[in-house]
Structure 1
Amino acid sequence: MSEHTITVAGVAVDTRHWIGGERVASAGTFTDVSPVDGGVLGEVARGTAAEAAAAVAAAREAFPGWAATPREERARVLHAIADGVERRLEDLAVVETADNGALLRSHRRGVMPRVAHNFRFFADWLLRLGHEDFDTRGHTNHVDWDPAGPSVLITPWNAPLMLATWKVAPALAAGNSVVLKPAEWSPLTASLLADIAAEAGLPAGVLNVVQGYGSEIGDALTAHPDVRRISFTGSVPTARRIAASAAANLTPLSLELGGKSPLLVFADADLDLAVDLAVEQYDNAGQVCLAATRILVEETVAEEFTRRFVDRASRLRQGDPRDEATDIGPTIHPRQLEKIEGFVQRAVEAGARAVIGGHRREGQYFEPTLLAGVAQDSEIVQEEVFGPVLTLQTFGDEEEAVRLANDTRFGLAATVATGDEERARRVTGRLVAGTVWVNCFFVRDLRAPFGGSRHSGVGREGGTWSFDFYCDLKNTVTSPKGWRDHG
């Protein structure tokens, strides 16, 4: 075992970059700390502009060969990567839980299987990607999806590997080479992915992984003139910086940003279902961009809804995410915990009332919290907290419900609980959101478009939409005239 290899939950992880099919160290490192117990996991290579340039150069060199690889072979390699993920599912699950604090049971049963599915789905979609030829005054139009080129993918810490492969899989399927930059708070499973991809036969340089801080390596990646696509999931301020960096080269961007999504509970809803949906928003300690953190309840059922919610939420178990009985784990980082606590303190000082929770606990834990008595224009209602903090507001009628739901700068998702099918159609048609769930939550299908409106993002990915982004679409128009007779 090399000096650059650490052992996390019994799994060996190389902490160097993966560039051009080789492990590459940096002069500096950063410390990776587990949110589970505050223990140091190891020192991770801290990339700079030099590593960024090397990674893009490797991707540029590898791109022509991978782009020219037949679709069937690209799909085969992606399926082989999925096979590797499934073989190492337990390794990936335990390492990611140690690295970002999400529930081990969720990683085992849902998240890591979804990682494998990401590769299988886009491999299969690639093989049926196409558009029927069509006629224009006797001329034939033929549409192609041409690989765009080296792609920089910058991913967040809340679901590190799943969200990384949501980008990596379609980019590779499209024929692009990739430079993946994982979040510095949770970089380890990206390193394991590099090993899995190499073992699956992905050519050197097609997937590169570089670690480090955005200010030190991210800017060098997003401003690089050889980069043809940038996909980012994260905060609005960082997205602005990336967009400004990419502007000089007119590099196309896909941005999936923050959310402040509403859950609308109408009086005709199944209240037990509505309460279950509301409590589900505490998943991953509230560190979910899609979470419906603004609970909007019709006045006539607000008291009963609140009573049932308190009863249900009080039974949640918060603690060690490695324990199968735990429902809510820790916050990712002390800085994030301080941010959450600050939001709640300021809200209470402004007149909000904590129906449940409201305090941090020992370690990196914040209690599941529900705040009532909040004003629509208050910070706690308008800004993303990214923690286990929900707000409760009431509305008098459908018109007010829609107005309150749409009254933020975000538009990532929305959830509606109602027993009236006609109302569901009316309300969902008026909500500003990239995804709307009715009487359910977090049902995701890779065939569907995904992305946000307003400050929640730019563009859509999923199914053919992903290939539309990662490719240059080309239409070839052919005249029936002018062919030579070779007979």
Structure 2
Amino acid sequence: MVLQVEKNTYEAKVQEIAKQLLAATRENRSFLTSLRDQMRWDDKLLAWTMSNPGLRVQLFRFIDCLPALHNKPEIAAHMQEYLQDDSVELPSALKGLLNFAAPDSIPGQVAATTVSTAVETLAHKYIAGDSMKEALKTIERLRKNKMAFTLDLLGEAVITETEAQFYLDRYLDLMTQLVEASKKWTQIPSIDSADGEILPQVQVSVKLTAFYSQFDPLDAAGSEEIVCDRIRILLRRAKELGASVHFDMEQYAYKDLTLSILKKLLMEDEFRNRTDVGMTIQAYLRDSEQDTKDLIAWATRRGYPLTIRLVKGAYWDQETIKSMQKDWKQPVYNDKAATDANFETITQLLLENHEYVYSAIGSHNVRSQALAIAIAETLKIPRRRFEMQVLYGMGDKLASALVARGHRVRVYCPYGDLLPGMAYLIRRLLENTANSSFLRQSMEERPVEELLAPPVVDNLTTPKHTLGFANAADTDYADMELREAASRAFINVRQQLGKHYLPLINGEYQQTEQTVDSVNPSNYSEVIGKVGLISVEQATIAMAAAKAAFPAWRKTPVKERAAILRTAGDLMEQRRAELSAWIVLEVGKPVKEADGEVSEAIDFCNYYADEMERLDAGFSYDIAGETNRYIYQPRGIAVVISPWNFPLAIAAGMTVAALVAGNCTLLKPAETSCVIAAKFAEILVEAGIPKGVFQYVPGVGSLVGAYFVKHPDVHLIAFTGSQEVGCRIYADAAVVQPGQKHLKRVIAEMGGKNGLIVDESADLDQAVVGVVQSAFGYSGQKCSACSRVIVLAPIYDEFVKRLVEATRSLNIGLSELPSTQVGPVIDANARDKIKEYIAKGKQSAELVLEMPVSDSGYFVSPTIFSQVAPQSAIAQEEIFGPVIAVIKVKNFTEAISVANGTNFALTGGLYSRTPSHIQQAQAEFEVGNLYINRTITGAIVARQPFGGFKMSGVGSKAGGPDYLLQFLEPRTITENIQRQGFAPIEGVE
């Protein structure tokens, strides 16, 4: 699929049309300018954002928060908190408005009324109505001006299946009401018919994610099945009514799946001849030109045209930020000129293939629309196959100018409540006030030649965003090839199930008398591997080997040690899909989380390699006649006792930290996750670790673990696990054994009772999703998992209701299934202990959710208790499973007190849009890792070093700049360099 005509062929005509359109949009500009001093408050707010970047950020944050505020004093208080920030230079009018002493004073209430009214007025500029009555008035006004419409229902980010069904029902009802109203409309030939064909007067725009709360590219087949069932209902009803349906495009992660679903559905016999449907292409995406070519080829095969709406794209900031955070290739163009150039290329592609697709060119850029017109007029494209589109409230004058030229214009009209519409409003405001916005540049009366010049693209390469440490990128399962690689890995791993895994002692695999079967928690009849457990006698041999290997290893240059770690990280990256599959099958972790664990293990290898090279340089403080060096040396022999819940990442992290610091290391993994630890051992051997330096020593904790902890030749113990075992290790390690000449260092991470506060100003969509992910990800078996939600009284009931429905919408099942969000717990003991806590909870709190689960694996229902007393057992004791206690508090001070009211201090979180609450939490919330307005799990190496205090553990944070210091002994070396009163003095000849 190539362009049929050279681009510059149209340029003269483009310039001619663009100048005509621009002149039309600038009519009455002098009259408008004379009214600037009489602008309404909503106009002033918008104008101020264009001239003050600091105010722009704070004002948009306040607008985002506004719908959640319950009364005028709250609004006034938040206005002051947001807008009187030191970084914001306020316009005098706004400064005067905010100059009140108390939020509940009369001036405060006046300010709240003024600004909230202005924001509501501003919202109505971009939202066609918050009721059907208002929406119909807007539509009838548009039709009076000879403009067609498409109506989009706001708030489609569904998080529960109840909401998904509700939105389908609303769309069905919306189409019915619109068609009923249309019976009274006068026919307008310019928009209601074309080339002798009657066009649907009613059109709605929908998003696929609105129809399934668990829409996920990883579960492409499952998402397709459920979404298609609901879309079929929608399309059938649309046909009965004579309405048309257009499918919007959303975030990049959903793009390929969205196109795939629609292509398949619209090739079904029932829908193949439908021409009253449409899809969307976003020109800011780097692969959108190829997507367009693929769509045209598909439409050619289909044999019936459908509409392709071409837009620039509305999620640029979000896509850019996400790609940076995920270390993924950026999907959008960085330069607006590149987007504009791509828009023009795709416009030409669509219009030159008008026999196969109808084009809907959505833009407020006069040049973009002029190019489309120039091509359409040159090629004499029939009217049915071409229309222009603008957003409601943003392209009014351009739309009028296009109508005057005789073109069919459709206005995209968002409709719905202000609260769910706020995200849409913010996007429109950001777009409207961006420096690169054509509307803004036009309002600033830039020279015509500059506004209408062809876009010039200097560099289309993707910039590197990494600052400092470069984290490993998780698998992007939106990529079909990577999903297929994951499927192949499961097939490969399943062919290896049931093999024997032996201990590695002094470089040789050793036979053992005792073995244990490691089973799949999703199906405990399936044996993952048979693991040999060492005896105390074999532990003695391993200790001797470590002691013998230590002198040479401590002298090995740090660069060589670091190189082994980096090689291990590279090997893990190469085997990422396979390692993920082992994690899924052996410990029951869902696929995405298993993949994230592999990333973390790789990060530990690379980060600690970097850190040790940094520390190896030492520090110098020299003065005249004296040199002072601060250096580090390894401690000796390290014992790593790793947990089953992060069987690769934590085992790898503690082990490679000890190794790169120069310590000989023995890894004793949890008995339920020995196969994954064996795979890690294989990787270290392949990476070049010397014999005796690292040894894989699975064994019974109460025997072998205790032996290692008490052994006089052990210098440090790195442990992650339960508080009970951690405290025992801490006590045993403190006892100086006969022949021991050092005090042992213990690094222990021992879990938490992690609380997450949700206040009145929180975005409940984000808060509910965040709590669900934090509490039920990996069935609540992360030491960072949320087990308490502390909610302020005004929103408590609503929050609990939505939390229950969102949790009920989760898929519970075999961990390897791509649809699964909640898998099993690790074993029967864990399952039974969790059920005991659930029984306790039923006696002291209100059970609001418990779901049926399979008994073929170690499954426990996601369980929610409300009306929980802060001092009850389920609110105080660690429950390593999918159980959360929801606690009601009166105010934020009480919330902080309850959050701090346990023996643990590991992770905590806050969902709030109140700056003072955020500041208070930062100062007073007693946790090692505090997360604000995001999930409280998923710490990333270097970005969020992980670890807590109080009874959550002892030691510096894993993945942080202090962690390796625990594995090292510091030394200071001072040398007097004077000889008979003479010493070299640097810088003096």
Give TM class, smaller chain: over 0.9
- C-alpha contact 1:77 1:201 (8 A) present in aligned 2: yes
Q: Give the Å deviation of 1:47.
A: 1.9
Question: Which stretches of structure 1, 4 residues or longer, exceed 6 Å deviation after superposition?
Answer: 483-487
Q: Matches of residues 50-449 of structure 1 in structure 2 within 5 Å?
A: 50-108=537-595, 110-129=596-615, 130-134=617-621, 139-249=626-736, 250-280=743-773, 281-350=775-844, 352-357=845-850, 361-362=854-855, 363-441=857-935, 442=937, 444-447=939-942, 449=945
Structure 2: gaps (5+ residues): 1-491, 737-742, 985-989
- Equivalents in 2 of 1:359, 1:61: separation in Å? 55
Matched-pair contact (CA < 8 Å) for 2:534–2:699: yes
Tell me by how many angstroms 1:139 deviates: 4.4
1: CA distance between counterparts of 2:744 and 2:634? 14
Structure 1: how far apart are the matches of 2:806 and 2:769? Answer: 8
- Over 3 Å counting, the alpha-carbon distance change for 1:424 and 1:137 in structure 2 is farther
**CA offset digits 1:185-229 (Å, max 9, x no partner):** 111111111111111111111111111211121001111111111
Question: d(CA) in 2 for partners of 1:115 and 1:474?
Answer: 30
Matches of 2:926 and 2:624, distance apart in 1: 40
1:450 to partner: Cα distance: 2.8
Letter in 1 for 2:508: E
Distance 2:979 2:710 in 1: 45
Q: CA deviation at 1:303?
A: 1.4
| Residue identity opposite 1:458 in structure 2 | V
Displacement of 1:42 in angstroms is 3.8
Residues in 2 aligned to 1:139 and 1:410: alpha-carbon distance in whole angstroms: 47
Deviation at 1:484, TM superposition (A): 10
- Return closer, same or farther for 1:322/1:287 CA change in 2, 3 Å cut-off: same
Shift of 1:485: 8.4
Amino acid paired to 1:466: Y
% same residue = 32
Residue aligned with 2:504, SS: strand
Where does residue 466 of structure 1 map in the other structure? 963
**Does residue 453 of structure 1 match 2:949?**
yes
Structure 2: how far apart are the matches of 1:318 and 1:238? 31
Q: Distance in 2 between matches of 1:119 and 1:131?
A: 21
Q: Which whole-Å deviations, capped at 9, do the CAs of 1:310-368 have from their partners, x for residues lacking one?
A: 22212110101111111111111011000000000111023x11111166642311111
Could you tell me how far 1:138 is from its partner in structure 2?
A: 6.7
Equivalent residue of 2:688, what SS? coil
Note if contact 1:46-1:213 (Cα within 8 Å) is conserved in structure 2.
Answer: yes
CA distance in 2, matches of 1:205, 1:155: 19
Decide whether the 8 Å contact of 2:624 with 2:983 is kept in 1: no
Partner in structure 1 of residue 974 of structure 2: 477
Taking the aligned partners of 2:572 and 2:529, their CA distance within structure 1 comes to: 23
Question: Once the 2 structures are TM-superposed, how far is the Cα of residue 482 of structure 1 from its aligned partner?
Answer: 4.5
Residue by residue over 1:132-184, the C-alpha shift from the partner in whole angstroms, topping out at 9 and shown as x without a partner, is: 42357974432112111110000111110111111112111111111000000
How far apart, in 1, do the equivalents of 2:619 and 2:951 lie?
Answer: 35
Answer with 128-137 or 464-473: which moved more.
128-137
In structure 1, C-alpha distance between the alignment counterparts of 2:688 and 2:605, rounded to whole Å: 14
| Contact preservation (8 Å) 1:125, 1:463 | no
User: Quick one: which of 504, 516, 540 aligns to 1:30?
Assistant: 516
Residues 521 and 587, structure 2, Cα contact 8 Å, conserved in 1: yes
Q: 1-side partners of 2:800 and 2:852: how far apart?
A: 19
Deviation of 1:52 after TM superposition, in Å, equals 1.8
Q: Which has the higher helix share?
A: 2
TM, length-normalised to structure 2: 0.47
Alignment check: 8 A CA contact 2:500 2:530 kept: no
Letter paired with 1:205: G
How much has 1:449 moved relative to structure 2?
Answer: 4.3
Q: Which residue of 2 aligns with 1:9?
A: 494
How large is the RMSD of aligned CA atoms in angstroms? 2.1
| Separation (CA, whole Å) in 2 of partners of 1:18 and 1:437 | 40
Contact 2:640/2:717 (<8 A) preserved:
yes
Q: Which amino acid aligns with 2:887?
A: Q
Superposition deviation, residue 480 in structure 1: 4.2
Q: 1:63 to 1:271 in 2, by over 3 A?
A: same
Change (3 A) 1:483 1:247: farther
* Change beyond 3 A, Cα 1:435–1:50: same
Contact in 1 for aligned 2:733/2:744 (Cα 8 Å): yes
> Contact between 2:503 and 2:511, CA under 8 Å: does it hold in 1?
yes
1:85 Cα deviation from its structure 2 partner: 1.3
Report the number of matched residues: 479
Give the C-alpha shift of residue 26 in structure 1. Answer: 1.4
Q: Residues 9-51 of structure 1: CA distance to partner in whole angstroms, max 9, x if unpaired?
A: 2237541101111101211122222212012334321222112
